[in-house]
A = this chain, B = another copy of it.
Amino acid sequence: MAETGRTDKYHHGDLRQTLMNNCLKLIEDKGVSGFTLREVARISGVSAAAPYHHFRNKTELLAAVAVMGFKMLDEAQRKASQQFSNPGHKLKALGKSYVMFAVNHKVYFHVMFRANNEPLWENAQVMNAAKHALSHLENTIRELYPEAEKGNSSHFQAAVLTCWSMVHGLASLWVDGPLRAAESGKLEIEKLIDLILGQAMTHRSF
């Protein structure tokens, strides 16, 4: 009773987290555009005004979700890069983990990169979390091509961006639908990733 009765407590306990979770659920159903603060409050079992004790406004809730997403991605990337010491294998593992993050956390990915009009990228916390998540890729490319950075830093940047584009593109095409809608449903996504990253990141010469 004391346990299950938690819901009818006046104070919620962890409303902040609950709001974030339900925000994700809602976006999963209705897309970023269809998501409303009032409905998040409603399905969290709380009045429409309650969220304002935890987030200054709607955008700040989205930003908090984005930060959370980047932290999860950061963690996934960290784990992936620890699996190997060989930087080539590392790079491949990072790529796969990036795409699998998007596939397994479609909604986070949407909020992180598709919060169309919300200027999340002007939010310092979001920017920071994103930079951390990206740093693994950068570091690994630095390991792979130590001379690239010294010789010509724009080549280093380009190498990073090439890899990032590659995996981000694959993730985007999957998450946004064209890939799932197209004929390529024949291949399962995970095999596809291996095939592509195998092609793109093993036999390549930067």
Contact = CB atoms under 8 A, between A and B. Distances in A.
**Interface footprint category on A:** 35 or more
Interface stretch (A2-10, A16-24, A49-57, A162-170): A162-170
A63 interface: no
A32 B116 contact: yes
Nearest to A30: B117
Given A166-B169, A204-B204, 11 more contacts: A113-B178, A154-B187, A154-B195, A157-B187, A161-B184, A162-B196, A162-B199, A166-B200, A169-B170, A172-B172, A204-B205
A114 B114 contact: yes
7 closest cross-chain pairs (CB), A and B: A169-B169, A31-B117, A165-B169, A33-B33, A31-B116, A165-B170, A168-B169
A118 to B, nearest CB: 8
Interface in A170-191: 170-173, 176-179, 181-182, 184, 186-187
